[in-house]
């Protein structure tokens, strides 16, 4: 089993820790890191691992082979670089960085250190998304023309005002870093490199300082487009639809991704009535983590390439610029 330390034991770091402890036969959490030592230690005690306050203590521990980073976004780069230089494999929560330059530095450090880099784009691993990708790759949907996507919830409305997830510095453009990045990454997975974005972010129904309503139009080099909508002050909804010349597919989540209970995928073909497939419960977060573990052990390449990671961050950075300026912004070409 891959001996892992989870860095950041807030909401999502705890979900990762519990997911590994309760289900994985490929990873084991052996240490945790969190500045709030007392609360983190209380959480970790029944899971059987100690907690440190500082990352450097973990990076000196020969028992630890890999780190899972679930910390505020601006910390990712320095923590990834430090772990890579210590010879540890790294799984980073999304976003890999808030700028393309930051993401490049993280990737370069992992390459230089000869370590595997994984990324928390777990929505790629959801069973209906895997099937949708297959339909697109085999040409069964024909030429892809548009994607419509919405991933909204009101989980952050009740957070304390000083929570980092509400900070415009840590989470610019409303819910883009929380949920919108998943939709952006999925769209890039299907449509290829983005070329230009136009983003509109406002606070309309809450006190969230970075915005609670976000709409993004993404243009791709192929000529296709995607519309991404994220609201942070409305009940949960998650919808992802792809439209091609030979049919369309819509995927709806039954529950929030922190506890997925399944999906409904509706497909329409020319001349026929739409049909719906009911997908049962799955664990895409664990599937992603175990793909990372397999890559570390040399069993299979990690399925998200460095170029794919960079394409998503390049488009994300353009969204931030557009949300600030109110004007269309070009997406940097990563090659």
Q: What is the pLDDT of residues 179-199, one digit of tens each?
A: 999 999 999 999 999 999 999
Q: Are 144 and 191 in contact (CB under 8 A)?
A: yes
C-alpha to C-alpha distance for 203 and 77, rounded to whole angstroms: 29
pLDDT digits (tens, 9 = 90+) for 203-259: 999 989 999 999 999 999 999 999 999 999 999 999 999 999 999 999 999 998 888
pLDDT (0 to 100) of residue 114 = 98
pLDDT at 22: 85
How is domain 124-282+302-330 classified at the CATH fold level? Dihydrodipicolinate Reductase; domain 2 (3.30.360)
**One CATH from 3.20.20.450, 3.40.50.720, 3.30.360.10, 3.30.1490.120 for 2-122:** 3.40.50.720
The pLDDT tens digits along the chain (335 residues) read: 999 999 999 999 999 999 999 899 999 999 999 999 999 999 999 999 999 999 999 999 999 999 999 999 999 999 999 999 999 999 999 999 999 999 999 999 999 999 999 999 999 999 999 999 999 999 999 999 999 999 999 999 988 888 999 899 999 999 999 999 999 999 999 999 999 999 999 999 998 999 999 999 999 999 999 999 999 999 999 999 999 999 999 999 999 888 889 999 999 999 989 999 999 999 999 999 999 999 999 999 999 999 999 999 999 999 999 999 999 999 999 98
Q: How far apart are CA 170 and CA 164, in angstroms?
A: 6
Cβ pair 169, 210 in contact under 8 A: no
Q: Name, in order, each residue with C-beta under 8 angstroms of 31's C-beta and a sequence gap of 6 or more.
A: 5, 6, 49, 50, 51, 52, 58, 61, 63, 64
Q: Decide if 67 contacts 91 (C-beta within 8 A).
A: yes
Q: What is the mean pLDDT of the chain?
A: 96
Tokens of 302: 């990690």
Q: Where in the chain is the domain with CATH 3.30.360.10?
A: 124-282+302-330
Here the tokens at position 180 are 């919108």
Return residue ranges of the chain for CATH 3.40.50.720: 2-122
Q: What does the alpha-carbon distance between residue 50 and residue 44 come to, in Å, rounded to a whole number?
A: 7
Three-state SS string across the chain, please?
CEEEEEECCCHHHHHHHHHHHHHCCCEEEEEEECCCHHHHHHHHHHHCCCEECCHHHHHCCCCCCEEEECCCHHHHHHHHHHHHHCCCEEEECCCCCCCHHHHHHHHHHHHHHCCCEEECCHHHHCHHHHHHHHHHHCCCCCCEEEEEEEEECCCCCCCCCCCHHHCCCCCCCCCHHHHHHHHHHHHHHHHCCEEEEEEEEECCCCCCCCCCEEEEEEEECCCCEEEEEEECCCCCEEEEEEEECCEEEEEEECCCCCCCCCEEEEEECCCCCCEEEEECCCCHHHHHHHHHHHHHCCCCCCCCCHHHHHHHHHHHHHHHHHHHHCCCEECCCCC
Cα–Cα distance between 53 and 141 in angstroms, integer? 50
pTM summary value: 0.96
**Where do we find the tokens 């870093």?**
177
């Amino acid at each position: 089993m891959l001996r892992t330390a989870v860095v950041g034991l807030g909401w999502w770091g705890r979900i990762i820790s519990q997911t590994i402890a309760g289900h994985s036969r490929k990873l084991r959490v052996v240490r945790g890191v969190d500045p709030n030592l007392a609360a983190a230690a209380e959480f970790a005690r029944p899971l059987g691992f100690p907690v440190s306050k500082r990352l450097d203590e973990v990076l000196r521990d020969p028992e630890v082979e890999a780190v899972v980073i679930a910390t505020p976004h601006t910390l990712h780069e320095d923590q990834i670089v430090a772990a890579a230089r210590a010879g540890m494999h790294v799984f980073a929560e999304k976003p890999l960085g808030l700028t393309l330059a930051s993401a490049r530095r993280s990737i370069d450090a992992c390459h230089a250190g000869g370590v595997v880099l994984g990324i928390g784009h777990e929505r790629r691993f959801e069973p209906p998304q895997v099937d949708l990708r297959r339909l697109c790759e085999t040409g069964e949907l024909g030429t892809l023309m548009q994607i419509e996507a919405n991933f909204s919830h009101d989980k952050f409305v009740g957070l304390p005002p000083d929570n980092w997830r509400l900070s415009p510095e840590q989470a610019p453009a409303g819910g883009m870093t929380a949920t919108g990045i998943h939709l952006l990454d999925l769209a890039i997975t299907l449509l290829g490199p983005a070329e230009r974005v136009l983003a509109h972010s406002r606070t309309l129904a809450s006190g969230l300082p970075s915005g609670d309503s976000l709409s993004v139009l993404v243009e791709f080099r192929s000529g296709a487009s995607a519309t991404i909508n994220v609201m942070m002050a409305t009940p949960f909804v998650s919808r992802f639809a792809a439209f091609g010349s030979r049919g369309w597919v819509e995927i709806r989540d039954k529950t929030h991704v922190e506890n997925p209970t399944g999906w409904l995928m509706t497909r329409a073909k020319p001349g026929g009535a739409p049909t719906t497939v009911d997908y049962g419960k799955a664990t895409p977060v664990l599937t992603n983590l175990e793909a990372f573990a397999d890559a570390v052990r040399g069993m299979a390449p990690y399925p998200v390439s460095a170029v794919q990671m960079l394409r998503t961050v390049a488009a994300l950075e353009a969204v931030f610029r557009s949300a600030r300026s109110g004007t269309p912004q070009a997406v940097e070409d990563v090659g």
